[in-house]
Chains A and B, each alone.
Chain A
C-alpha cells in the first residue's frame, strides 16, 4: 500500500516535472543569432530571439528629449539596425559587445525590449565573443 503510494507520488512528481520542463523549455528557449546568421536564415517575424555583436562606432543615434535610441551592431561581416526605448545598461557604449532580446520586424529592423551589456569592461557576452572571433 505504502510502496504503491510512494511509487505513485514519485511517478506523479516526475511526470509533473517532466511536463513542466518540456513545456517550459519549448516556450522559453531564446535562440541566439549573429547579424550574418540573420541574413542567411529566415526568422519568423513573431518569435522573440537574441542577437548580439559589437556596437558600431558613430552609429548610436539618440532622439532628443526622448527614450528612443537606435544603433547598429556588427559581427564585421553584416550589420543590424536595432531600435530600443528605455534606459541602457551602464556598460553600453560604442565598440562594446552587447546582447539584445526582442523581435525582428518586416523591414529587417530589430526591435529590442531588453539590451544587456554585461558586468565588467573586459567581459564580452560569450556568444558575442564567439561570433567576433569566428568572423575576424
Chain B
C-alpha cells in the first residue's frame, strides 16, 4: 500500500512539475501574470510530493517489502536497520530519486530566498528547474522505477546490499555528491532565465555565484568522502584511481570552480558575461553526464546501450534537450555588447582568464580520456582498451603547477592594470623561506627527498605565502590582520585547502611504502622503520557475517599499538570481503590488509605506510569550508 502511495506521489510530482515547467509558455500566449505566480507554489508542491515519495520508499526498505523488485535486489532482512535506510540509494533507481529530491531542495530554497524578487526572473528560473525535475522523474518512472513490484511470486528474502556499501561513509557520500551535481542546475537555470529576460548583468552574476559555490562545496565533500571510503574500504590503500566514476565527479567540479571564479569578474567588472553563461551550461552538461555515467554503467562499454536501448536513448534525449536547447538559446540571445571595462595583461581580469582557460582545458582533457575507450571501441570494431592512470597523472601536473603559480599571486593583481609589482619580491622571499624549512623537516622525517616532493613543497609554500603569510606580513596591526582574515576567510581557506591537498598528494605518492608478505604466527616484518608483528588469529560471528581477524602489533619509536584487519564472509550473499585495519597518526597511516591462509598458522598480509595521506582530505575539507563561508556571505546579502 505504502509503495503505491509513493508511486502515486511520484506520478503527481511528474504532472505538477510539467505544468510548472511549461507554464511560462501560457504566460507568453495569454500575457496573464497568473501563470508566473503559480510556478512558485507548484514548485513547492513538487518538492513535497518527491519528499513523500522518497519517504515511502525508505519506509518500504525498513519493513523489508521484497515484493518491490528494487528492494528485493538491494536489501535483506539480516541487514542492520541503518543500512536498510541507506540501501534506499544503494543502486541506480533509488539514487535517481535521491537526485531528484536534492534538486527539489535546491529549487525550493531558491524560491524561499527570492520570493520577493523580480517575479518574471524568479518564475523563469523555477520553470527551468521544474523542466529538469520533470525530465528526471520521467526517466525514473519509465526506465528505472524503484516502485516496480515483482508479482505474483514475492521472494521471501532479499539479495542483500553489496557489503562494500555497508559502511557509514558510503551512506552520506551519495547525498553530498548529488547535492553538488543537482546544485549545478541552479546557475544553469539562472543563466537561461537571464538570457530570456535579457538581464545578464552584475546582479545576475551575484545571484548565480553562491549556487555555484555551494555546488562546488558539496562536490568537494562528496568526492573527498568517496576517496576516503575507497581508501579504507577497498583494502588497496589507494585514495584515487582515475576511475571513470571518479572522473565523472571531478570534471563538473573543475568546471564549477572555473565558473565561480569567472562570475567574480562578471559581477565586479561587468565582463566575461557570455563566458560565464557558457560555463554554467557546460557545468550542467558535465553534471548530467556524470549522473548518468556513474550508475547506468554506460562507461564500462558502449554495449550497455545495446543491452538497454531505452535508457540510452532517454539519456541522450534529456541531454540534447537541455544542452543543445540552451546552446541554441545562447547563440540567439547572448550578450552582443562588448564589455565596458578594458584591462591589460597585468590585470586581475587576465589572471582570472588564465585560471579559467587552465581549468576548462584540464576538465575537457580528463573528459576525453574518460570517454576515449568508448570512442575507440566504436571506431575499432569492438576492440577494447582502458586508459591507465599515468595518462591523467602526466596531464594534471603542468596544469596544477600553473594554477598554483596563479593562486599565489592572483590576490595582489589589481583590476584593469597592476602598477606595483613589489609583492612579487615579498611572496618569493616568504615562500622560499617556507620551502627551505619544510624541505628540511620532510628530509628529517623521511630521510630522503625527491623531485616530486620538492615540487609539491614548492607549490605549497607559494600558495601558503601568497594567501596567508603575506597578509600577516603586510598588516602593521593585529586589528588589520584580523579584518583581512575575516573579510577573505572563504578564499583563504579554500586556497590553503588546495595547498594542503597538493602537499599531501606529493608526499603520499613519493614516500608510500607497500609490501605483500607471508607471516607465521609470532613472526615480524620490518617495513621502513616500523615493525609489524603477527600475534594471533581468531574467528567469530557478527549480525550478518562471520569473520577471521588477525592481531598485528605495530612497533616504532614512540609508538606501540595493535590493530586487527579482518576477512569477512557475508552470510546472505556468501561474499568475502577484507576489512583493512588502519592506525592513523598525524604524519602517517599504518595500513594492514589480511590476505589468505597459505599454511599452518601462516597467512599473507599487505603492509603499507602512507605518509601525509590525511592531509589530502584535510585540504578538501578546507576547500569545502571556504566555499560554504563565501556563499553564506552572498546569500546573506540577497
**Which A residues lie at the B interface, using CB under 8 A?**
1-2, 5-6, 9-10, 13-14, 16-17, 20-21, 23-25, 27-32, 50, 62-67, 85-88, 90-91, 119-121, 126-127, 130
B361 contacts A119, CB within 8 Å? Answer: no
* Stretch from B253-261, B484-492, B497-505, B570-578 forming part of the interface with A: B570-578
Q: Which residues B382-402 have CB closer than 8 A to chain A?
A: 382-392, 394-395, 398
Among B32-40, B284-292, B350-358, B628-636, the one that faces the other chain is B350-358
B333 adjacent to chain A (CB < 8 Å):
no
Number of interface residues of B (CB under 8 A): 57
- Residues A30 and B602 in contact in the complex (CB < 8 Å), given A24-B394, A67-B518, A87-B596: no
Whether the pair B575, A91 counts as a contact (CB closer than 8 A) is yes
Give 5 pairs: A residue, B residue, CB < 8 Å, sorted on A: A1-B344, A5-B345, A24-B392, A87-B606, A130-B384
**By the criterion CB–CB under 8 Å, are A32 and B301 in contact?**
no
Q: Is the CB of A28 within 8 A of B575?
A: no
Interface status of B599 (Cβ within 8 A of chain A) = yes
Q: B602 contacts A10, CB within 8 Å?
A: no
Q: Which of B353, B361, B577 lies in contact with A14, CB distance below 8 A?
A: B361
Judged by a CB distance under 8 angstroms, whether B512 is at the interface is no
A17-B365, A87-B604 in contact; A119/B516 too (CB < 8 A)? no
Contacts of A2 in B (CB 8 A): 342-345, 350
Provided the pairs A86-B516, A119-B164 are in contact, do residues A24 and B385 lie with their beta carbons within 8 angstroms? no
Residue of B389, B573, B604 touching A121 (CB-CB under 8 A) = B573
Bound complex: CA A14 to CA B398 (Å): 12
Bound CA span A64–B343, Å: 72
A-side contacts of B414, CB under 8 Å: none
List chain A residues, Cβ under 8 A from B398.
16, 20
**A46 CB → nearest B CB, Å:** 16
* CB contact under 8 A between A30 and B385, given known A9-B357, A24-B391: yes
Would you call B555 an interface residue if the criterion is a C-beta within 8 Å of the partner chain's C-beta atoms?
Answer: no
Is A64 touching B164 in the complex (CB atoms < 8 A)? no
Q: Which residue of A lies closest to B384 (CB)?
A: A32
* A27 contacts across to B, CB distance below 8 A: 390-391
* Segment 333-372 of B: residues with Cβ below 8 Å from A: 342-345, 350, 353-354, 357-358, 361-362, 364-365, 368-369, 372
Distance of A28 Cα from B593 Cα, bound (Å): 29
Q: Which residues of B contact A90 (CB under 8 A)?
A: 235, 575-578
B595 lies within 8 A of A9 (CB):
no
* Docked-complex contact A91 and B391, CB < 8 angstroms: no
Collect the chain B residues with CB atoms within 8 Å of residue A6's CB.
Answer: 350, 353
Given A30-B388, A67-B604, A91-B575, 4 additional A-B pairs, CB 8 A: A2-B342, A24-B394, A27-B390, A87-B606
Which residues on the B side are within 8 Å of A21 (C-beta)? 365, 368-369, 391, 395
How far apart sit A14 and B364, CA to CA, in the bound complex (Å)?
Answer: 10
Q: How far is the CA of A27 from the CA of B342 in the complex (A)?
A: 44
Quick check: A87 and B516 within 8 Å, CB to CB?
Answer: yes
Minimum CB–CB distance for B377 against chain A, Å: 10
A121 to B344, CA, bound (A): 60
Q: Does B113 contact A (CB under 8 A)?
A: no
Whether a CB of chain A sits under 8 angstroms from the CB of B546 is no
Contact A127 B384 (CB under 8 A): yes
Contact at A31–B383, with CB atoms within 8 Å? Answer: yes
When C-beta atoms are compared, the residue in chain B nearest to A133 turns out to be B303
A28 with B391, Cβ < 8 A, contacts A13-B357, A20-B398, A65-B518 known: yes
CB distance from B279 to the nearest CB of A (A): 15
Q: A87-B606, A90-B576 are in contact. Are A66 and B162 (CB under 8 A)?
A: no
Residues of chain A contacted by B304 (CB below 8 angstroms):
126
* A130 and B162 in contact, given A13-B361, A67-B604 (Cβ under 8 angstroms): no
Inside 8 A of A31's CB, which chain B residues have their CB?
A: 383-385
Indicate whether B300 reaches chain A with its CB closer than 8 angstroms: yes
Closest partner residue, chain A, to B368 (CB atom): A21
Q: Which of B506-522 contact A (CB under 8 A)?
A: 516-518, 520
Q: A65-B518, A130-B384 are in contact. Are A10 and B365 (CB under 8 A)?
A: no
Q: Which residues from A are CB-within-8-Å of B517?
A: 67
Of the residues A17, A25, A120, contact of B362 by C-beta under 8 Å: A17
Is B424 part of the binding interface, using a Cβ–Cβ cutoff of 8 Å? no
1/0 contact trace for B106-141 toward A, CB 8 Å?
000000000000000000000000000000000000
Would B353 and A28 count as touching, CB distance under 8 A?
A: no
Given contacts A87-B516, A90-B577, A121-B575, contact A5 B350 (CB under 8 A): yes
Whether B441 is near chain A, meaning CB under 8 Å from some CB there, is: no
Residue on B nearest A86 in the bound complex, by CB: B516
Taking the closest CB of chain B, its distance from the CB of A49, in whole angstroms, is: 10
- Please pick, from B301, B358, B387, B394, the residue contacting A29 in the complex, using a CB distance under 8 A: B387
Interfacial chain A residues near B372, Cβ < 8 Å: 25
* Residue contact B385 to A29, C-beta cutoff 8 Å: yes
